[in-house]
Amino acid sequence: MSPVSFPSQKLYQEALDLFKEKSLQEAIQKAESILQNDPGFEDAYEALAIFYSLVNRLDEAIETAKKWIRLNPKSKMAHTNLSRFYVQKGLIAEAEHEQAEARRLSWIEELTQKKMKLPQINPREKIERFKKVIELDPKDILGYYSLGDAYLESGRYREAVEVFSKGLEVDATHSSSYYGLGQALQAMGENQRAVEIYQKGIQVADKRGDVMTLKKMQARLNQLSSDKS
């Protein structure tokens, strides 16, 4: 991501504030003005595309996401958002293509991280970042999952439980959120609730074909069962 000038960041925050105040048309105008003057500001592409989608201007949402991808072809979120807009448009094949590309980029990132010793990221920074993602799009299941995972990593288990639970209200088929919720409950000593969550999550993961997540939950469930005996 290219460096962001202070005026653009200030306008971006103003656009988010307008969005929170339900002034969506004004938020759109603000985001549009940012990109007219600072076409390298990636956060504005994400915001504007989502704003367009919320007022059913799907063609413009799709075009904005495509511009974002042209600016940064390696942006997982750009491909993920474009996939969502295609789903809203009913273009399933295109949506699946973009989702596959997002997964490919995620795998590349994971492989790169295994080969490189990456600098530590301040947990508070991660939490604040993912809070902003959810503020921007309260239906972003990946935002809830990432925030819950950040809370879990920071030892803030009760907050992790709350966020994972909210995420599952948004998308009850997100198997990784069941796994995260179960982990947080276990860490709090609420093992019976954790068992119930893992059991439900295993059913969801099995239907979706999420083999790795299913195996992780099954291992946790087996551990809890052996602890009881």
Residue type, 183: Q
Whether the predicted model's global pTM rises above the 0.85 cut: no
Burial class (CB in 10 A: 0-12, 13-18, 19+), 133: middle
CB 167 within 8 A of CB 202: no
Q: At residue 3, does pLDDT exceed 50? A: no
Q: Which CATH number fits domain 6-115: 1.25.40.10, 3.70.10.10, 3.10.310.70, 1.10.3470.10?
A: 1.25.40.10
Q: Where in the chain is the domain with CATH 1.25.40.10?
A: 6-115, 123-228
Structure tokens of 94? 């295109």
Q: At residue 209, does pLDDT exceed 90? A: no
CB 186 within 8 A of CB 217: no
Q: Running DSSP on this structure, what letter comes out for residue 3?
A: -
**pLDDT tens figures, 14-38:** 988 888 888 889 999 999 999 998 8
DSSP 169-197: HH-TT-HHHHHHHHHHHHHTT-HHHHHHH
**pLDDT tens figures, 131-176:** 988 888 888 888 899 899 999 989 999 999 999 999 999 999 999 9
**pLDDT tens figures, 63-113:** 999 999 998 888 889 999 999 899 888 888 888 888 888 888 887 777 666
Q: At residue 117, does pLDDT exceed 80? A: no
CATH 1.25.40.10 assigned to 123-228: yes
The mean predicted confidence, pLDDT, of the chain is: 87
pLDDT of residue 9: 86
